Structures are given as structure tokens and as C-alpha cells.
Structure 1
Amino acid sequence: MRGVTAALLALSAAGCATLAEPSGPSAGAWITSADRSALLTAASPLVFAVRPESGPTVTVDPTQRFQTMVGFGASVTDASAHLIQTRLSEPARDGLLKELFGRDGQGLGFSFTRVTVGASDFSLDHYSLADTADPELKDFSTARMEEHVFPTVRAALAINPDLKVMASPWSAPGWMKTSNSLITGQLKPEHYPAYADYWRLYIRSASDHGVPTDYLSIQNEPDFEPDSYPGMRWPPADRARFIGQHLGPELRAAGIESQILDWDHNWDQPEQPLTVLADPVAREYVSGVAWHCYGGEVGAQSTVRDAHPDKDVFFTECSGGEWSPDFGDSFVWTMKTLIIGSVENWARGVLMWNLALDENYGPHAGGCGDCRGIVTIDSRTGEVTRNQEYYTFGHASRFVMPGAVRVASLEPEGLDGVAFVNPDGSRVLIALNEGTEPVQFDIAEGGRRAATELPPRSAATYVWR
């Protein structure tokens, strides 16, 4: 794999040089195949020419414009940050972060990430930022996040200043809850003011330590109470009350412009965010809805967006894992459902779960015991393995720039795809052939066409001007 990766990076660097200095009507192409014969590998450029339609065609129409993209990425969990900061040498750490967040011809260019406010299951232990029962929050501290999470995010921001950061808690402090514990329970209404203050203190402290909070959700997976790690059930009417009467006014009075996303949970209950957005007071403070992949269908994103076209859509969590160990199967599913499907259903940003985990799928404190990170860092040697999600997301993050606009594309039977126009005017098409036979087709824009072939169970990114 190391030899393949070295060759891949060399090909990608050459390909990105072609992209940076285009010569004539041609398109760069990069391919990943389920059999791993190609891994984000640069292919021969495509040549556009004026000619009539002669077969299956992907038609790109830049005049039909949809959402503006924030970007793609993965979460800097406690586990990911711990591994990056403590299991890699300084040169290896710098190199990995440049590879994941950089845009120097070899980097994936991740421009969206998520941090957990306090502990999740992917922490070394369970904690909040104010564990002492005190509504005045005198002991509030982000010290635990300052150890590994904040330095990792700051380093990523230094590499990619376009990086946007989302913050999500897995639980309010236990003393604020009906369970008197970080595990299970609901937030007591009498502590809504203190919890709004908790958020204000977090955003200010994170900012003081160089970490912005561009987006936040008030609760990760609010319709789930896990029994082995922090979690908190929070019904939609109560979330609306907290946002509309407490958090929204608190942040506005403090001059904090972080955007609030509701839900942050699965596709199977669109009625939950619809209930929050039906509240006229809460709706004023909610900028959009965040979604996870663990239940339901991706079309739920459009169901809610169609009802509230003024609200943004973000896809904020899905994990690969050993329940789907085959490279090809999970590569094809992730490409079809997340990179193409969620964006075709209005997502402005798309996130996988852990940026990095170790050879034992951790560290973690409860919860998922076989989740997979974008990369695996061997906790004994520091060796980095790039997993299928690395290549899937790289097909988008390396080529679709922050500020790109999704545009219309029409694919023939046998292909899935999504298209963009970057701020510099370059076009990007991501196409997937999930079938077992190669597909020959043209890419067409205006009166020009370029012929190509996509191998079975493969995806390609095409870039042209």
C-alpha cells in the first residue's frame, strides 16, 4: 500500500499541475476503483470537441445553480486528536495534517470539520466542561479540549484558513439532567438558562484559543439515549423552546454569529426538525438542519428543505466500520449516498465521523467498538493507513473548492453523478459506475463533448474550464 500511495501522490501532483495550468479544451480525470487498481489516480486527460451526440451522455448545465458549498471533511474527535498529537512524531503529524487539509497538489483539502463539546464515545473518558453542580458555572473550563483538540484544529486552520468548524455536545453536564449523569436523561428546563450560558462560555473560550464555532448543534442525536456513553434525549418542542427563548437570544445579545443547526440525527424522522422550524420564535435563530446516515433515506433532506427553502442543509455524521469491511462495497455506498446523494439533496457540507482511529478502532469510552476513521494510525508505530473513506471523500474535497456552486447534471442509466462550478470558473463532475460492466459515455457542456469510459464499480472526478 505504501508503494501505491507514493505512486498515487506523484500522479495526483502531476494531475493537479495540469489543473492549475490548463492548455486547450481538455479535462483532468482521477479514478478510484473498488478493486483498488486505481486510488485517486490521475488518468489521461479528456479532450472536448464540437460534435453531435452519439451515445450515453452526462450533460452539465452551469446555468442551473443550486447550493453553495462549505466543503467536505471529518470530525476532530478527542480520539482523533489524541492519536494525532501523541502517536505521531512532529514531522509525521505535520505531514498528515497537510495531506488531509492542504491544497498543495497532494492534500485532500478538507474544509469542514466538527468537534465534540465535552466527551463523546470517542473520548478517553467521560467529562463535561462544567462537572461541578453550579448554575453560575464558576468552574467552567475548556482545559480538556485545549490538550489535543484545539491544537489539532488550529494546525488544520493554519494549513487551510477556509476550514469551517462545527461544534456538537453529546450531553449537557450531568447535574443539569434528569438522570444526574452524562449517560441518558433529559435536560431539566430550570437549567435552560445555565446551559445557554454554557454555550456562550464555550464559544468564547474556543475563540480565545484560536478555534471558531462557525456552526453548532445543541445536541448530537437528540432522539437517542445510549447506555454506555454520554447522550441526552431532547424532544423537538423542547429544543425549539431552548433555542427560541434561551440560546438564540443569549448568543445574539453577546454578538456571537455562530449558526445554529437543528436535529443532527438520522434521516428517518424529518418530522422532528419540521416541528422545530414550525416554531416561529425558534425558526428565527435556526439557520439549517443537520443529518446523520444511520436510519432512513437521504431524500429526507429534501423533504425538509422543500418545506423551508431558506434553511441550509448539512450532512454531519456517518461512520465507516467493520460491519462493512469490504473496500469496494463501502466505497461505492459512501460515494453514491453521501458524496453524490446528500449533495444532490442540498447538503452544503458533508462530514464523516472520526478523522483518525487506531488499529483497535479507538480509543473510545463505550459506544462503537468497530468504527473506522478516515485514516488509521497505528498506536504502536505511528504508521498511517488510508481507508476507503479517504479516497471517497478525496474525490470531492480535493477538487470542489469552498464557495463552489452545485449545478445541474443529467446522467444516463447506469451512472450517478453531481456537478459543480468552482469560484475560479472550473467545472467539476463526480461520476459513479456502481455496475459490474464498464460504461462508455460523453461529458457534454454546451456544444462540446468529451468521450470517456468508467470501469466497473469505479468513481471518477473530471475537472475542466
Structure 2
Amino acid sequence: MKRLKLLPLTLISLMLASSCVQKAESLKVEVVETSRSGNKLTQIDSFSSAADTISKVSLNPKKTFQTFTGFGGSFTESSAYLLNQLGKENRQKIIDAYFADSGARYSLTRTHMNSSDFSLDQYSYAPVEGDTLLKHFSIEEDRGDIIPMIKDAMAASTEGFNIISSPWTAPPWMKTNNAWVGGELKREHYDTWALFFSKYADAYKAEGIDIWGFTVENEPHGNGNNWESMHYTPEEMTEFVRDYLGPQLEKDGKGDLKILGYDQNREGIREWVDVMYKNEANAKYYDGTAIHWYESTFKVFPEALQYAHEKAPDKYLIQTEACVDAEVPKWQDDDWYWQKEATDWGWDWAPEDQKHLHPKYRPVYRYARDIIGCMNNWVDGWVDWNMVLNRQGGPNWFENWCVAPVIVDPDQDEVYFTPLYYTMAHFSKYIRPGAKRIAFESTDKDLQVSAATNPDGSHVVIVFNPSKAEKVFDLQLDEAVKRLSISPQAIQTITLKN
């Protein structure tokens, strides 16, 4: 009988260690980082390997959640006007930064129908009072700015992008108060207003621009006595969609255009989805729900998002607007965007019982943690507000100054890409339309994480480290492990290569 030769214990240990190394090396990753210390989508090739505490992020691609529609920003008249004021080189630089393969590759966008506060003035495509058949309908107001900006973006984008169009208000003559601000749509004009959406889609189609979908109304609760607005109750909006807008688009052969209801802050979403999806008749023409983030500077409202998803699990849940509002942007000062100095409208104007929702908060943190929080709570699209603003945070006819990822000085023909631009790109550039969110586990409660699998099979992990300490963690997929580290106050996108 042949005896088995036993290997020394030390040799067995070395063989096991070698096997682990080989497995670790089989996990091939590309890492880009944006940090307070100065990285801006910088490729990271070397990582700290030792720390007092090493956490773990484990991926489970077999368990999937929502399919992502896209990430991007908005074509506003203000942004388009500013691009027209820049030299040709800087104009193209911004377009490419947002839409080219070398840039953020925005895939989901928004624009306004008629004017918004981020317009130079108030206007409507149907200004003639009593024109119920919309014979004088015209998008002439958009030909000099918004349309050229969209066309330039289309030329720069390899894969294309979808456009959501939103009205802030119907023309005053269709409203109960005959004014740009507030009031409701007169019931006798429900059919005319539905026709307005159809004509808008046709007019843009004639310009070579396909509209992907609509929100029914930007902020139907209204916004005080401020800029353009029009009020709906959930019942009124649903009646308009069910009996007028949906049938009008269907009749005109535009049944594939998406209709998103609500389009305001997350905490108020419950009463809306209860009505929108109450029965088959109400839900028929709704393709999803749109939301904004202005309820709080830092809260994501996961329970509200989960509630909306559970009400309509097969429909879209898209964040259509977000910005650091009520702030004049800081020029050429990257560190400000990482500082706890930004405020929003609620810092000054929220009722006392809501003040706690609006503390000063770091702009980069606000974007990174909100997008990650949305991703992890069933939101499938996330759209920023203005792509470009000036050093004042405008132009805005109401002087409602805000911050954008790209700030320009047209007088000097200068462009400033703020840290918010790079933060947005961490998502939009790497998580592509059709990607599916996948399950993960993280042992470090300070790291904020989300993960997705792209249509090409590559896995993408987003890691945000808001702490002031470097973090070391093992990224694990099946049996393969890669030790990585992330800088203090930084966001990383990790792409696992096939």
C-alpha cells in the first residue's frame, strides 16, 4: 500500500495564501476619485493596504432591483443664454463636458415648456387669448437658445439622451386667476391644455428633437407668490391625465410619450400616488412619478420613496430637479463646495417646525448622499437643475439665485467646473441606462455605497466617504477580493472589468 506523503503545515499555509493572492488579482478594477484634497475624477492606481480597521463591501449581482433610466441635468433658457455669450471654444468645452464620451455622458435631461424662473422673462408658446385650437402655437422663443443647446448636445453624445419636458404654468388666459403665478387651470381649457402638450412634441420633432416624456406640472403645490406656477390637487391632475392628456396623446399617435405625475417634494408623495394609482383607470396613462429634493437639505425620505415604489413597482420613479438653491455660487473656490456653509431656502424661510430639515450643509455631500440614497430606495433616474449659471447664480428673472455644476463669467469668457460637476459625473458617466441596481453589504456604517450592473455586464460601485479619515476596505465579488482605500471626504466610482 502506497503511503501518502504529508506536506508540512507551513507549506500548506503558503499555498493557501498564494491561492488567495491569485483570486484577489483576478478582481480587476478601475477607480476614479473626487476629493476635498483635490482629486477630480482622478484615476487611482495605488491604495493603502493597512489600517486599524479594514471594512468589507460585498457585492451580490444575482439580486437585482430597479433598472436605471439615467442621470443628467436640465436645458434651461438661462443656461442656453449663457452658452450663447461664451466664445465658441468654451461653449463646446461645456457641451462636451456634459455629453461627450470624454465627459459626464448625461443620459437623462429635462427642459421647461413655456418660461420658468430660470428664463430671462415670462413667455408662453400660446400667447393669443382665446386661441383654444392653438392655431398660433409657436416655439419661436426657444429657437435662439434652448433648441441650439439641445442640438449641440445631441451632436456631442454618442449614445443619445432622453428629454423630459415640464410646464411651470399654462398661459395666463387659460387660468382661474389670469396670472403667471398661482391659480388653477380652468376646466373649460383642460382639452386645450392637453392639445398644447401634443403640439409641443410635434414642434420639437420638426426641429429634429424627440421628447421622451412629460411631467404634468412642475410643483403642483405651488411655490408661494414667486415665479410661474399652477396648482393641482392629486384628484385634479389625475382627472386631467386620465380624461384629457392621455387620450389626446394616444389619439395623436403619441402614446409612447411618458407621463410622470406629481413632480414636487418627496415627503408629500403618499397622497399623490394613492390617487394616481388608486385603480386601473387612474393609473392607465401614468408612466411614473416625478419628485424633487427641496423638502430637506439632508434627508432622503426613504420611507416615502419605498411607499411610492410599492404603489407602482413597474412604473418610473424619477428625481427630476435638484440644486443648491437660495445661494450665490462661489467662484473658483473648490473648497467651499466641501464646507458646511451652504444654505437653502429653508434656512431663512421654512416654518419653525421645519427648520430642523434645513441646516447648513456641504454641497458635495448633499449631491453624493442624495443620489446614493435615491438609488438605494428605488429611484431610477436623477436629474440636476441648471447645467450652467453665472457668477450671480442666474440669470433668473425673479432673482432666485442658485448654484449649478458649471459656473461661467461671460464678460471674461471664463468657465469654472465646480466639484458638483465631478460629483454628478461619478454617476452619469459610469452607470448607464439599462443598468440594474444590485445588492451589496457594507460593514462600515460611515461609508455610503450603492452598486449596479451595466448592460455590458460590468459592475459599478459608488462609495462616498464623508468622514475626515481615510478608509480601507476589501471589495469582494464571489471569491475574489481587492483591497482598496478612499481618501477622506471623497467619492469614488469603482468599475469591475469583465
Please confirm whether the aligned pair reaches a TM-score higher than 0.5, indicating the same fold.
yes
The aligned runs of 1:337-352 (5 Å cut-off) are 337=370, 339-352=371-384
Instruction: Name the residue aligned to 1:395.
Output: 426
Instruction: Name the residue aligned to 1:14.
Output: none
Q: Find the aligned partners of 1:131 and 1:147 in 2 and give their Cα distance.
A: 18
SS in 1 for 2:154: helix
Instruction: Name the residue aligned to 2:349.
Output: none
Amino acid at match of 1:332: Y
Q: TM-score, normalised by structure 2?
A: 0.83
The aligned runs of 1:86-97 (5 Å cut-off) are 86-97=84-95
Q: Find the aligned partners of 2:378 and 2:56 in 1 and give their Cα distance.
A: 24
Q: CA deviation at 1:334?
A: 1.2
Instruction: Name the residue aligned to 1:284.
Output: 284
In structure 2, relative to structure 1, the CA distance for the partners of 1:279 and 1:180 (3 Å cut) is farther
Residue 308, structure 1, aligned to residue 312, structure 2: yes
CA contact 1:162–1:402 (8 Å) conserved in 2? no
Q: Find the aligned partners of 1:372 and 1:225 in 2 and give their Cα distance.
A: 19
In structure 2, relative to structure 1, the CA distance for the partners of 1:71 and 1:291 (3 Å cut) is same
Q: CA deviation at 1:367?
A: 5.3
CA contact 1:240–1:279 (8 Å) conserved in 2? no
Instruction: Name the residue aligned to 1:145.
Output: 142
Residue 298, structure 1, aligned to residue 289, structure 2: no
Instruction: Name the residue aligned to 1:40.
Output: 41
CA contact 1:28–1:46 (8 Å) conserved in 2? no
Q: CA deviation at 1:102?
A: 0.9
CA contact 1:29–1:46 (8 Å) conserved in 2? no
Further displaced range: 392-401 or 320-329: 320-329
Q: CA deviation at 1:374?
A: 1.7
| Cα deviations by residue, 1:200-257 (Å, 9 ceiling, x for unpaired) | 1001101111221112101000001442321111111000000000000010111111
User: Which of these residues, 432, 435, 457, is aligned with residue 404 of structure 1?
Assistant: 435
Instruction: Name the residue aligned to 1:31.
Output: 33
Q: Find the aligned partners of 1:36 and 1:126 in 2 and give their Cα distance.
A: 43
Residue 128, structure 1, aligned to residue 124, structure 2: yes
Q: Find the aligned partners of 1:47 and 1:464 in 2 and give their Cα distance.
A: 19
Amino acid at match of 1:132: V
Instruction: Name the residue aligned to 1:380.
Output: 411
CA contact 2:329–2:393 (8 Å) conserved in 1? no
Instruction: Name the residue aligned to 1:107.
Output: 103
Q: CA deviation at 1:151?
A: 1.4
Instruction: Name the residue aligned to 1:274.
Output: 274
Instruction: Name the residue aligned to 1:227.
Output: 225
Instruction: Name the residue aligned to 1:317.
Output: 321
The aligned runs of 1:178-189 (5 Å cut-off) are 178-189=176-187
Q: Find the aligned partners of 2:138 and 2:46 in 1 and give their Cα distance.
A: 53
Amino acid at match of 2:369: K
Amino acid at match of 2:184: Q
Q: Find the aligned partners of 2:165 and 2:156 in 1 and give their Cα distance.
A: 20
Q: Find the aligned partners of 1:388 and 1:364 in 2 and give their Cα distance.
A: 23
Q: Find the aligned partners of 2:64 and 2:483 in 1 and give their Cα distance.
A: 25
Residue 62, structure 1, aligned to residue 61, structure 2: yes
Q: Find the aligned partners of 1:405 and 1:158 in 2 and give their Cα distance.
A: 27
SS in 2 for 1:372: coil
Instruction: Name the residue aligned to 1:80.
Output: 79
CA contact 2:79–2:389 (8 Å) conserved in 1? yes
CA contact 1:374–1:389 (8 Å) conserved in 2? yes
Q: CA deviation at 1:26?
A: 1.9
Q: Find the aligned partners of 1:25 and 1:279 in 2 and give their Cα distance.
A: 48
Q: Find the aligned partners of 1:112 and 1:156 in 2 and give their Cα distance.
A: 12
Q: Find the aligned partners of 1:409 and 1:150 in 2 and give their Cα distance.
A: 41
User: Which of these residues, 100, 116, 127, is aligned with residue 112 of structure 2?
Assistant: 116
Instruction: Name the residue aligned to 2:352.
Output: none
Q: Find the aligned partners of 1:45 and 1:152 in 2 and give their Cα distance.
A: 40
Structure 1: unaligned runs, 5 residues or longer: 1-22, 49-53
Q: Find the aligned partners of 2:96 and 2:479 in 1 and give their Cα distance.
A: 39
Q: Find the aligned partners of 1:202 and 1:273 in 2 and give their Cα distance.
A: 27
Q: Find the aligned partners of 1:79 and 1:252 in 2 and give their Cα distance.
A: 33
CA contact 1:324–1:330 (8 Å) conserved in 2? no
Q: CA deviation at 1:279?
A: 4.7
| Cα deviations by residue, 1:165-188 (Å, 9 ceiling, x for unpaired) | 000000011100011011111111
Q: CA deviation at 1:333?
A: 2.0
CA contact 1:276–1:283 (8 Å) conserved in 2? yes
Instruction: Name the residue aligned to 1:9.
Output: none
In structure 2, relative to structure 1, the CA distance for the partners of 1:248 and 1:447 (3 Å cut) is same
Amino acid at match of 1:309: P
CA contact 2:259–2:286 (8 Å) conserved in 1? yes
CA contact 2:458–2:495 (8 Å) conserved in 1? yes
Q: Find the aligned partners of 2:273 and 2:240 in 1 and give their Cα distance.
A: 14
Q: Find the aligned partners of 1:184 and 1:360 in 2 and give their Cα distance.
A: 27
Further displaced range: 415-424 or 191-200: 415-424
The aligned runs of 1:207-222 (5 Å cut-off) are 207-222=205-220
Q: Find the aligned partners of 2:60 and 2:117 in 1 and give their Cα distance.
A: 44
CA contact 2:328–2:393 (8 Å) conserved in 1? no
Amino acid at match of 1:121: D
Amino acid at match of 2:75: V
Q: CA deviation at 1:298?
A: 3.2
Q: Find the aligned partners of 1:435 and 1:391 in 2 and give their Cα distance.
A: 19
Amino acid at match of 1:28: E
SS in 1 for 2:143: helix
Larger radius of gyration: 2
Q: CA deviation at 1:407?
A: 0.9
Aligned residues: 432
Structure 2: unaligned runs, 5 residues or longer: 1-24, 331-335, 339-361
Q: Find the aligned partners of 1:246 and 1:302 in 2 and give their Cα distance.
A: 29
Q: Find the aligned partners of 1:30 and 1:250 in 2 and give their Cα distance.
A: 47
In structure 2, relative to structure 1, the CA distance for the partners of 1:97 and 1:155 (3 Å cut) is same
Instruction: Name the residue aligned to 1:13.
Output: none
Q: CA deviation at 1:45?
A: 6.0
